Amino acid sequence: MVVMTSPLGENGKATRRELLHWAGWFWFLTATLVMVIGLRYPLVAGFPQSVDSGLFFVLMTLSHWHTLVYLVVPVIFIPLILLYPASRLVKWLAMVLATLAISMVVVDAVSFSLYRFHLNGMVFSLLFGGAGDEIFVFESIVYLTAFAGLMGIVFIVWLLDRLAQRIVRRDHTPRLGYLFATLIFLSFIGQNFWFALANASGNHEITRQARLYPAYLPTRADKELLELGLVEEKDLSNRMGKAAGIADYPKSPLACEAPPQQPNIFVVVVDSWRFDAMSEKITPNIHALTSEAMVFNRHYSGGNNTRTGFFSLMYGIPATYWEDFLDARVGSSLINILQAQGYQMAIYASAKLTGPEFDKTVFADVEGLRKRTMADTVYGRDELANREFIDYLKGTERREPLFGLLFYDAPHSAASADNYRDHFQPAEPVNYLTLTDESDPAPLLNYYRNSVISVDALLGDAFAAIKAAGLWEDAIIVVTGDHSQEFNDNGLGYWGHNGNYTDPQVHVPFIVKWPGRGAEQINYTTTHYDLVPTLMREVLGCRNEVADYSVGTSLFSDEPREPFLIGGFIDIGVRLEREIYSFDQFGGYQVLDLKNKPLQVAPDSEIIKQTMEQTSRYYHR
């Protein structure tokens, strides 16, 4: 055994135990420093006010920074020390990484104070994508200050190294370290469990803190807590709205005056509906509607999956706000104004509205929301939801004005009615795990088309019921898809959705029957973001600037929409007329052509700045 007066002595050697002891204390001190720097975030966004939210903040702060920093210890330093216990290498690697970590937190804190979001792919693209020198133009004093700050961080890291060595020399037992580690671990478990309870019960004073720190990923377990009896069903329905603090949506109180004659509104959403799956042959009932409706031929969803696509349709803003609106129970302004003006809500969705949690987002303020359809099969749920909608139209409980929503699910899993299962041939299900970019799409595409014509048959019955109830002539009827469905259209091996931002995954049908407007083929670009401002201004009499509640514009305007955002589950895309920008959560980006093939060009800095503005507009500053 090597005897040392310091774990990082002059000979550059140390025992594995001594190095591990030093590394543990060095990173503990680094995490503590980062935690102190991180207090800038609540200084900007505001500290919690209540006792319980304050206690949660303490647990979250203590566990988050130490957990985040300590990720490097088991991943890098424990293997390194066990395999190659060279003290100088361990020391300098740790000090370089600590300097980078502290610097990133400082930069992120500055970004958060300016824009209210953390460093992300768009910011990194601005910095390193070739446009940084065009955007970040500062006076010399700014660069000198930044350099001095970096040198200060280097000096502080050196002091942390010295302090860690002194602790190791004087503390020959690891009891104090074990005590701190136990405290951090218990804080981590406690704050995650506490957040899950708060999320389930709608305690926005706690859930609003989820956005405070970078890379904070809290636990949500509504279903498990309900099964354990720790929350009740009524707790899951708590709503907080704009009072949640972080969300600033709408940006100003909405000034809306109901017109004397309020039209009934029906919105039909078909899951995974491709643009070219709307024709007289595949959707005869919907095609018949086009004889008296506007058909928007270049219409795009705001997402390439259900959560993001439906969010963009019902809010008129990008789905990047999903997590924060979910935590805060911020409902759709469209739905809230409809209810304020006396509209009866008739929401009939085939799939559960609890996953994705549309019951806590879009319909957060709808009392007595119908959250699920009790049937055993996907198409069976579509049938039952359709039948319940028709029964509602026939029932005495119906009153006007009426907002009706039908959300069919069958095409998502290519589920068909028995009498349509073999309508288009050849049709057969396939194992998605065996699909390649050389697989023949025809059998699967026909299998999918059989599900679409099955839904069209149901919608034909729904249309007939609307007419029988005397609601057809003066009703606004919108028929669209939440997103599209790809069948290797670009020859790159993409099947389904949530894979890219090309037309096969985001170009959807969009048909609107509007009283006073006849049949028309619309060939300018429109998006899901446009429905909310159209209804809010044309129907609900809202006088606010559209930017108060939407990034869209009127469906009846041919002004350019590009660039527009498309949300994925984690990543984000920006569609331009001839290009697609794709940003991932790790800071990477690609510029692609409309077939999803890489282009060797840097993103336009002005477009990225516009995207950043739209993804931060509806937060308090």
pLDDT band for 555, please (50, 70, 90 cuts). Answer: very high
For residue 196, what pLDDT is reported? 86
Give the pair of three-digit tokens for residue 444: 């699967």
Give the pLDDT mean for 250-254: 95
Q: Please tell me whether residue 147 adopts helix, strand or coil conformation.
A: helix
Judge whether residue 249 has pLDDT over 80: yes
Q: What is the DSSP letter of 542?
A: B
Percentage of the residues of the chain whose pLDDT score is greater than 90: 53
Number of Cβ within a 10 Å radius of residue 219? 14
Query: What does the mean pLDDT of the chain come to?
Result: 86
Model pLDDT, residue 264: 97
Lowest-pLDDT range, 1-5, 210-214, 409-413, 482-486?
A: 1-5
Is residue 587 very low, low, confident or very high in pLDDT (cuts 50, 70, 90)? Answer: low
Q: What is the pLDDT of residue 621?
A: 66
- pLDDT for the residue 213: 85
**Region 550-577: what's the mean pLDDT?**
93
pLDDT for residue 242: 39
Least confident of 29-43, 68-82, 116-130, 519-533: 116-130
**What's the mean pLDDT in 468-476?**
96
Domains of the chain: residue spans and CATH:
16-236 (no CATH), 264-614 (3.40.720.10)
Number of H helices, E strands in the chain: 21, 13
Per-residue model confidence (pLDDT) at position 2: 33
495-496 and 520-527: which strand pairing? unpaired
pLDDT at position 132 is 47
Rounded-to-integer distance, Cα 434 and Cα 181, Å: 46
Task: Return the DSSP state at 413.
Answer: T
- Please compute the mean of the pLDDT values over residues 181-185 and round it to a whole number: 85
- How far is CA 173 from each of CA 92, 170, 179, 209, rounded to the nearest angstrom? 25, 9, 12, 37
pLDDT at 445 over 90: yes
- Higher local confidence (pLDDT), 34 or 91: 34
Which residue pairs from 336-341 have beta carbons closer than 8 angstroms and sit at least 24 positions apart in sequence?
A: 336/365, 337/254, 337/256, 337/536, 337/540, 337/542, 338/265, 338/403, 338/540, 339/365, 339/366, 340/256, 341/256, 341/258, 341/262, 341/401, 341/540
Tens digits of per-residue pLDDT, 16-37?
A: 777 878 888 888 999 999 999 9
Residue from 79, 82, 69, 71 nearest 14 by CA: 82
* pLDDT class of 235 with cuts at 50, 70, 90: low
Q: Return the higher-pLDDT residue of 104 and 431.
A: 104
pLDDT value at residue 240: 40
